[in-house]
Amino acid sequence: MLRRALSVCALAVALPATALVPGGIASAAADDTPRPAIERYAPSAVPDRVALIPTEDPARSQRVSWRSNATAPKAQIIEAPAAFGDTMMDRLTPIDGTDYTRIVTVEATTSTVDPRTGYTNRYHAVEFRDLKPGTRYAYRVGDGTDPNGWPVTNWTAWEDFTTAETGLRDFSFVYFGDAQNYIDSAVPRVFHQAVLDRPKAKLMIHAGDLVNQTGVSDANLQIQEKEWGEWYGAAGYNNQTRNVLATPGNHEYNSSTAITAFWKPQFPFPANGPRAADGSPLEAVRQSAYYVDYQGVRYISLDSSPLQNGPVQNDVLVAQTRWFEDVLSDPRRPKWTVVTFHHPVYAGTSSRNNRIVRDNWNPLIDRYKVDLVLQGHDHVYNRGNQVKDDDATDPTKSHGAVYSISVSGGKMYELNAGANWSDNGARRRVAAENIQLYQLIDVSSDTLTYQARLANGRFFDGYRVSKPGAGWDVAKTVTDLDRDPDAAPAEHGDAQPTRTTLAAARSVVNEGEAVVLEARVAPSAAGSVQFLDGANALGAPVALDGGVASYRTSVLAAGGHALTAAFLPADGARFAPSSSTGLFVDVRNGQGVPGPKGDKGDRGDPGEKGDTGDPGTNGTNGRDGAAGPIGPVGAAGAKGEKGERGPAGRDALVTCKVTGSSSAQRVTCSVTFGARAASSRTRARLVRNGRTYAQGRISSLKPTRTIARGRYTLRIAYGGAVVAARVAVR
């Protein structure tokens, strides 16, 4: 105590009122000036951005990466003792039998990131080797200063990790979709809640777009630097205590072919991916296409950006696909296989269509019976399977790979109607938008239990894969979960399980029309049903009558809605609560009109300066036109039909033209219903991917953002309704 008091006193005397503290931040008077990254995230002699990185053999080795200014970076490791502290400080006889002279010090290697980020970012990495399986170790990273010195200690605190067991053992891991946006505000609670729910999770998978900024200008690089600072800040100590396993997204690419300069120094993943002709790791996907075997699960990361960011890099596609098959056909392959890449096989938003990924990798996913496919990119939630893998007798079951799209960050896209799934032989079972999620996956010898939970911790979706027997190719059954598997058993005692199903009279309605929902609970029990739109309650709970509860609403906004029903038992001791799986209802704003014939897909939104939008993917889908109605989620979606008729049964003909420079654009449209032209004063809104690009009178729409030529939707106020028409802006 005396020593601590003296320390504080000495520090106060030593620092003048305006002195700089580490990090270069003035500590004098309060200052509301926003701090640029060059101040807020500047490296110092003290390590930061520490992350555990898996090796090829996580039972016997462990990598750690971090950042600091140190020129002689080092790491130390020891089998985790029961105590540190004065025993260490004074080099006394160990109190728990630990011989502290057995601390091993390892020299690090260093990689430097482009100094145009604002300063020289030095990332260091070590690999601890000859570790024992299933053993807890303590480690720290720092430099050449005395690790127990005072007042200078450029070392982290000791943190612990446990090496993998050999062979298949129960454990949990976490999967996150795109963090990317609002990383310093909306993302941290998602990352934290996942680890609060699974404090012993061994790995965290990030399915790409960890950050947002692309480009290589000085300004771009400085924003990237800031965002990586935010990302590590959001993860906090999670990264120091369990392995990070990440695959890059298009936002980790500074061009269609160049991965960000941060990736390789930060993430020294195994270089066991595709090989070049000379046998060395193929540089284009080194540390982005790799695999890790961890306690009975083979994790495979594929880099989808060289396929989908722009012109296909054919050599990288061929090399990755061949390597993917090698890794899947490997006789040493463990029982479970989890594949992660960024661009989804079946897209969940807009008219996205990742055909190259689907054509080349999905046949291998199918043939080699991959268990989970974890993806990102679309900023919505989707989960489903191939239709051929549906169970013939039970709609809650399937038997093949499960495909997920998720999002952890704050940028949200609109759901599409699921045509990219149904058009390609797949079934979207659950879909939602405007939610942030994390996914917990519990592994055991014969089951994988997957659950998606919302940022507030609420259970949202789940399923269990049952695969009894040995080997990766034994038969499996995937069963939807209709209740939270983490609900404490004590909460419901020996209560009888219940099952809630939800149906709607119509799955496609116009805005303002009634949606009638019917929930059924079996076995019949007293209680009520809460209907939900995503995470939001629809009205008050409805009392069950003979096991049935109905709800009618006419106020759903235009767009896709993922509706669920939650049974709330009157007697929780007798009956357990349960929730239905999601039901997708599409609310159209007005009556549809025929769309133009399918043409070549557009390239998505060009990234705008300062915008957070995804750079466009290489569109190849040409089947737009007004989408036909889809079936309810849970049934195969019907194929898109020809467009519906316009107002009063007349077709609409719409043309739009954009003129002027990008800084002073003007959009002029004309609309003809049958033989009659709409008034030039008719009001309309030009939208794409949920964003408004121009609005006002059709004769002179006022742009709200830069408009590129391409396909849009024009929403026209006509006859008291809103009519949507597809239009190519020229």
> How many Cβ atoms are within 10 Å of 513's Cβ, its own excluded?
12
Nearer to Fe ion, 249 or 634 (CB): 249
Contact 579, 459 (CB under 8 A): yes
Q: Which of 122, 124, 377, 453 binds Fe ion (CB under 5 A)?
A: 377
**Interface positions, 186-245, toward Fe ion (CB under 5 A):** 209
Nearer to Fe ion, 229 or 604 (CB): 604
Burial class of residue 4 in the structure, from the number of CB atoms within 10 Å of its CB (0-12 exposed, 13-18 middle, 19+ buried): exposed
Contact 583, 503 (CB under 8 A): yes
User: What track of x and - describes contact with Fe ion for positions 421 through 440 (by CB under 5 A)?
Assistant: --------------------
Report, in Å, the least distance between residue 557 CB and Fe ion: 24
Q: Side-chain half-sphere of 724: how many Cα atoms within 13 Å?
A: 22
User: What track of x and - describes contact with Fe ion for positions 164 through 183 (by CB under 5 A)?
Assistant: --------------x-x---
Residue 240: what are its φ and ψ, rounded to 5°? -85, -15
Residue ranges with strand state E in 304-409: 336-340, 372-375, 381-386, 397-398, 402-405
Question: Which one, of 382, 408, 409, 384, lies nearest residue 395 by Cα?
Answer: 384
Report, in Å, the least distance between residue 571 CB and Fe ion: 45
Distance CA 383, CA 346 (A): 10
Q: Which of 250, 254, 420, 578 binds Fe ion (CB under 5 A)?
A: 250
Report, in Å, the least distance between residue 198 CB and Fe ion: 24
Q: Which of 43, 58, 142, 249 binds Fe ion (CB under 5 A)?
A: 249
Report, in Å, the least distance between residue 609 CB and Fe ion: 17
Nearer to Fe ion, 510 or 620 (CB): 620
Report, in Å, the least distance between residue 313 CB and Fe ion: 17
Residues 6+ positions from 351 with CB-CB distance below 8 Å = 416, 420, 601, 602, 619, 621, 624
Report, in Å, the least distance between residue 616 CB and Fe ion: 10
Nearer to Fe ion, 209 or 533 (CB): 209
**At 728, is the secondary structure helix, strand, or coil?**
strand
**Interface positions, 45-84, toward Fe ion (CB under 5 A):** none
Structure tokens of 450?
A: 């997957």
Query: How does DSSP assign 707-719, residue by residue?
Result: --SEEEEEEEEET
Distance CA 527, CA 95 (A): 59
Rounded to the nearest 10°, the torsion over CA 478, 483, 486, 488 is: -140
Nearer to Fe ion, 159 or 614 (CB): 614
Report, in Å, the least distance between residue 301 CB and Fe ion: 15
Strand partners of residue 727: 712
Nearer to Fe ion, 345 or 587 (CB): 345
Identity (one letter) of the amino acid at 337? T
Tell whether residue 442 is a contact of Fe ion (CB under 5 A): no
Nearer to Fe ion, 683 or 691 (CB): 691
Question: Which one, of 440, 372, 441, 381, lies nearest residue 407 by Cα?
Answer: 381
**Interface positions, 490-529, toward Fe ion (CB under 5 A):** none
Report, in Å, the least distance between residue 257 CB and Fe ion: 16
Nearer to Fe ion, 209 or 484 (CB): 209
Nearer to Fe ion, 162 or 351 (CB): 351
Residues 6+ positions from 394 with CB-CB distance below 8 Å = none
Determine the interface stretch with Fe ion among 136-144, 377-385, 481-489, 654-662 (rule: CB under 5 A).
377-385
Question: Which one, of 340, 373, 416, 406, lies nearest residue 623 by Cα?
Answer: 416
Determine the interface stretch with Fe ion among 137-145, 246-254, 333-341, 582-590 (rule: CB under 5 A).
246-254
Report, in Å, the least distance between residue 721 CB and Fe ion: 34
Structure tokens of 362?
A: 């999905």
Report, in Å, the least distance between residue 612 CB and Fe ion: 9
**Interface positions, 603-642, toward Fe ion (CB under 5 A):** 614
Nearer to Fe ion, 249 or 273 (CB): 249
Nearer to Fe ion, 412 or 636 (CB): 412
Nearer to Fe ion, 142 or 616 (CB): 616
Distance CA 714, CA 698 (A): 9
Determine the interface stretch with Fe ion among 110-118, 132-140, 249-257, 650-658 (rule: CB under 5 A).
249-257
Nearer to Fe ion, 213 or 386 (CB): 213
Phi-psi group of 620: left, alpha or beta (phi > 0 → left; psi -120 to 50 → alpha; rest → beta) = alpha
> How many Cβ atoms are within 10 Å of 162's Cβ, its own excluded?
18
- Looking only at the bridges linking them, the beta strands covering 290-294 and 243-246 are unpaired
Nearer to Fe ion, 98 or 320 (CB): 320
Report, in Å, the least distance between residue 213 CB and Fe ion: 12
- Looking only at the bridges linking them, the beta strands covering 437-443 and 447-454 are antiparallel
Size of the site for Fe ion (CB under 5 A): 7
Nearer to Fe ion, 409 or 560 (CB): 409
Structure tokens of 158?
A: 């000791």
**At 721, is the secondary structure helix, strand, or coil?**
strand
Instruction: Give just the sign of the alpha carbon dihedral 703, 707, 709, 715.
Output: negative
Question: Helix 314-329 to helix 355-367 angle, to the nearest 10 degrees?
Answer: 10
Distance CA 275, CA 269 (A): 15
Contact 304, 256 (CB under 8 A): no
Report, in Å, the least distance between residue 251 CB and Fe ion: 6
Distance CA 244, CA 173 (A): 10
Structure tokens of 255?
A: 């061009």
The secondary structure of residue 525, as a DSSP letter, is -
Report, in Å, the least distance between residue 383 CB and Fe ion: 18
Structure tokens of 226?
A: 């800031």
Report, in Å, the least distance between residue 617 CB and Fe ion: 8
Ranked by CB distance to Fe ion, the top (closest) residue is: 209
Report, in Å, the least distance between residue 729 CB and Fe ion: 24
Name the site residues for Fe ion (rule: CB under 5 A).
178, 180, 209, 249-250, 377, 614
